[in-house]
Amino acid sequence: MPSDTLSTVLRAVRLTGAVFFSIDASAPWVADTPVARELGPYIMAGVEHVIEYHFVTAGSCYGGIVDEPALRLEAGDIIVFPQGDANVMSSAPGMRMPSDHALIRGLRPEHLPVAIKRDGGGPERAELICGFLGCDARPFNPLLSALPRVLRVPRAATADGTLESLVRLALAESKARRAGSDAVLTRVSELLFVEVVRRHLDTLPPEASGWLAGLRDATVGRALEKLHERPAHAWTLDELARDVGVSRSVLAERFAALVGVPPIQYLAQWRMQLGATLLSTTKMSLAEIAEQVGYGSEAAFSKAYKRAVGVAPAEWRRGKRDATA
């Protein structure tokens, strides 16, 4: 069976997550969240990058990146901040309040989820479920780099109830903390994120470029599938073009136009991500990892890794272990 490129990427960048906050608010109200890198260490220790999302379950509100125009959100809408920007959710546009750093510093995974009430006394109410997804951003996460700073999925796109069901299941699991809840939350979070990405992909204009646009392109999508299916293979542009069924020049031009780099350069970047994942999650030797990701020797892998990432593989592994200790 052919590989699923998106699923392959999600596994390699170690997507994980849980639902942590529910908000019950009446106007006027505002919830100000700092950049994800400030929040991450308190709710997802050892996670490199945090993606925040808000699902409006009742009422309406506004949401957006700090100091940028806010979007109006209705019940059923989801807003996602893939790049971890500081963001504001509020009953009216333009509202701000200082981020509650004391609350953030006091957060511990065992104390989650947190229910927040914002009672402004007005009749207009809103209810939100707010969650966080963790993933690796370095050395190479092609999906993350292809997503915008703000991603809004309108309720019209969630009418089948899939997203709402996933969010409510995640909230229930995070509250109950039954045996196996962590595994359920990880899977539900991945499903939720995949559904959001699918809906975003469906709305991309035909002229769009980027990794996601490459996935849906017949030629580039097949090339990406081949590279992700056999990353350790000694691919050449000629062989890849033959397997895809186009000429060398057509593949090179189309791939670079959509993805932004030539196919073999993309493969080299992806091998670095696979190497980083193995360094972080296994006890494999550097020689074993080198073979797994398509390098003929430990020395060749170490040289390429340091050139791409800035540190040697052994140093990267120590840093990851220290971060989760």
Band (1; pLDDT cuts 50, 70, 90): very low
Give the residue-averaged pLDDT of 126-136.
88
Say how far apart CA 287 and CA 303 lie, in whole Å. 13
Band (48; pLDDT cuts 50, 70, 90): confident
Give the residue-averaged pLDDT of 28-39.
85
> Ramachandran region of residue 46, left (φ > 0), alpha (ψ -120 to 50) or beta?
left
Residue 211 predicted with pLDDT over 50: yes
219 is written with which tokens?
């030629």
Band (2; pLDDT cuts 50, 70, 90): very low
Say how far apart CA 266 and CA 141 lie, in whole Å. 11
Say how far apart CA 248 and CA 266 lie, in whole Å. 16
* Nearest Cα to Cα of residue 69 among 98, 90, 97: 90
Going from the N-terminus, what domains does the chain have, and what CATH number goes with each? Answer: 5-203 (2.60.120.280), 211-260 (1.10.10), 265-324 (1.10.10.60)
pTM across the whole model: 0.86
| Burial annotation 255-274 (CB, 10 A radius, 16+ → b, else e) | beebbbeebeebbbebbbbb
Q: What is the pLDDT of residue 36?
A: 80
Residue 210 predicted with pLDDT over 90: yes
Give the residue-averaged pLDDT of 104-132.
77
Sequential DSSP letters for 134-150: EE--TTT-HHHHHS-S-
Single-letter code of the amino acid located at 296:
G
